[in-house]
Amino acid sequence: MSTNERAIRALKEILQKPGNDVCADCGALDPGWGSCSLGVFICLDCSGIHRNIPEICKVKSLRLSHWEDQEVQFMAENGNKLMKAKYEADVPVYYYKPTHKDCQVLREQWIRAKYERKEFSKPGKSLTYESEAREGTLMKRGRDNGQFLSRRFVLSEREGNLKYYTKYDAKEPKAVIKVDTINATFQPEKIGNPNGLQITYLKDYSTRNIFVYHENGKEIVDWFNSIRAVQLQYLRVAFPGATDAELVPKLTRNFIKEGYMEKTGPRQTEGFKKRWFTLDQRRLMYFKDPLDAFAKGEVFLGNNDNHYSASAGLPPGTHCNGAWQYGITIETPDRSFLFTCETESDQQDWLKHFKNVMNTQMSPQDYTMEALLRHRH
């Protein structure tokens, strides 16, 4: 057996230690790479990010690279569990820890924050996300013309809001957004920019979307985590008896699912039209275009016990003029909604998510939202 074969066999054994079976940075299973400068096991995607950071760039494939004995020894002495205790000693509860499903900019800034800037190694370190106010410019997509223009944004913990101004020296903001109504989620593909962030908020009980980006990856991720920090502070005051563990799920969230379906109108005799759908908690919103500012409409998904259901197929006799054949029927106390999907796998995926939502017990806030939406319709 060659020296390198022995090294690779030893690495396989080290991988069996608790914590080493997932990527140290994003949690992906079966990491195939190792950082011999940090002593952690990582996945292919995260290894690419490590390679671009000079201080930590020494990464090797666990199967294909040549490993020196002292490098194998270093991996054995360190490993994911030990390094997590060192580099993630004091991660704030509001800080969003990305998973393997998250986009490149979130994962890269998490890796840089940990190992390059060492933000979480020392307890009590003052972090940029925790300043009482944050101000700066972001490129924002125009609601009507679709052009991205520079806009001044101001986030205030004291006021509990996010404002933006159309002119840098404007006295009055274009919008004042309460932090408890904000959601923010990275949408690089949809926005067409690797640092694209979608901010949604409630305006007169309708969901309003704004799309922003910053050329600097650190800047946009800092904004994202600053919003989460202000939200947590707001919620701690609003719910003094609640624990952080109960409050963190109320911070920004990713959408459950997005994509195209076709839908027909309330009389179910109109033609099926292609629409972009976003499932956000119990709200299924539909848009003419993925980057529209407001939804054309939305469906509230209540609980099974309250006469809500989702099933495959369309009612007999439905006139289906669209190109897509895989139907879904959602029944609500007020009416039924008919949709079609392009593929059976897409139909099954939407149905799985609809049923999961409908099987979940409703919160007091859900009942309030249901009443508001039914009253509006």
**CATH code for the domain of 292:** 2.30.29.30
123: in domain: no
Q: Which amino acid is at 218?
A: K
Residue 80, both tokens: 């994911």
Instruction: Report how far residue 10's alpha carbon sits from residue 15's, in angstroms, rounded to the nearest whole number.
Output: 9
Instruction: Report how far residue 136's alpha carbon sits from residue 152's, in angstroms, rounded to the nearest whole number.
Output: 6
Q: Would the pLDDT of 110 be above 70?
A: yes
What does the pLDDT average to over 232-261? 93
Query: What residues form DSSP beta bridges with 310?
Result: 330
Q: Would the pLDDT of 194 be above 70?
A: yes
The pLDDT, as a whole number, for residue 73 is 94
DSSP strand pairing (133-141 vs 148-156): antiparallel
What does the pLDDT average to over 247-263? 94
What does the pLDDT average to over 28-41? 95
The pLDDT, as a whole number, for residue 2 is 66
Residues 234 and 266 in one domain: no
Greater model confidence, 339 or 170: 339
Q: What is the mean pLDDT of the chain?
A: 92
The pLDDT, as a whole number, for residue 99 is 96
Final residue belonging to a domain, choices 116, 147, 167:
116
Domain that holds residue 202: 133-250
3-state secondary structure of 5: helix
3-state secondary structure of 195: coil
Residues 140 and 245 in one domain: yes
Instruction: Report how far residue 262's alpha carbon sits from residue 189's, in angstroms, rounded to the nearest whole number.
Output: 21
301: in domain: yes
126: in domain: no
Q: What is the pLDDT of residues 274-324, one digit of tens each?
A: 999 999 999 999 999 999 999 999 999 999 999 999 999 998 877 777 679
Residues 148 and 100 in one domain: no
What's the start-to-end Cα distance of the chain, in Å? 74
The pLDDT, as a whole number, for residue 1 is 57
Instruction: Report how far residue 56's alpha carbon sits from residue 36's, in angstroms, rounded to the nearest whole number.
Output: 9
Contact present, 28 and 22 (Cβ < 8 Å): yes
Q: Would the pLDDT of 60 be above 80?
A: yes
What does the pLDDT average to over 109-138? 91
What does the pLDDT average to over 99-111? 97
The pLDDT-based confidence of 372 (bands split at 50, 70, 90) is confident
What does the pLDDT average to over 199-214? 90
The pLDDT, as a whole number, for residue 3 is 67
Q: How far is CA 8 from CA 13, 33, 62, 361, in A?
A: 9, 11, 7, 50
Four-CA torsion 135, 95, 207, 265, nearest 10 degrees: 150
122: in domain: no
Q: What is the pLDDT of residues 317-354, one digit of tens each?
A: 777 776 798 999 999 998 899 999 999 999 999 999 99
The total of structural domains in the chain comes to: 3
Residues 14 and 66 in one domain: yes
CB count, 10 Å around CB of 45?
Answer: 15
What does the pLDDT average to over 6-28? 90
The pLDDT, as a whole number, for residue 366 is 86
Residues 98 and 170 in one domain: no
Residues 79 and 137 in one domain: no
Final residue belonging to a domain, choices 193, 227, 250:
250
Residues 238 and 140 in one domain: yes
181: in domain: yes
Residues 60 and 157 in one domain: no
Residues 244 and 281 in one domain: no
Q: At what angle do helices 104-111 and 217-238 cross, to 10 degrees?
A: 80
197, containing H or E segment = strand 197-203
125: in domain: no
Q: What is the pLDDT of residues 116-127, one digit of tens each?
A: 999 999 887 888
Give one word for 368, left, alpha or beta, with left for phi > 0 and alpha for psi -120 to 50.
alpha
128: in domain: no
Residues 242 and 284 in one domain: no
Four-CA torsion 311, 315, 319, 324, nearest 10 degrees: 20
CATH number, domain of 98, equals 1.10.220.150
Residues 60 and 14 in one domain: yes
127: in domain: no
Residues 311 and 365 in one domain: yes
**53-57, 156-160, 206-210: which has the highest mean pLDDT?**
156-160
Final residue belonging to a domain, choices 116, 151, 166:
116
The pLDDT-based confidence of 377 (bands split at 50, 70, 90) is low
Q: What is the pLDDT of residues 70-89, one digit of tens each?
A: 999 999 999 999 999 999 99
Residue 134, both tokens: 């944050």
Instruction: Report how far residue 31's alpha carbon sits from residue 83's, in angstroms, rounded to the nearest whole number.
Output: 15
Q: How far is CA 172 from CA 44, 88, 153, in A?
A: 48, 41, 12
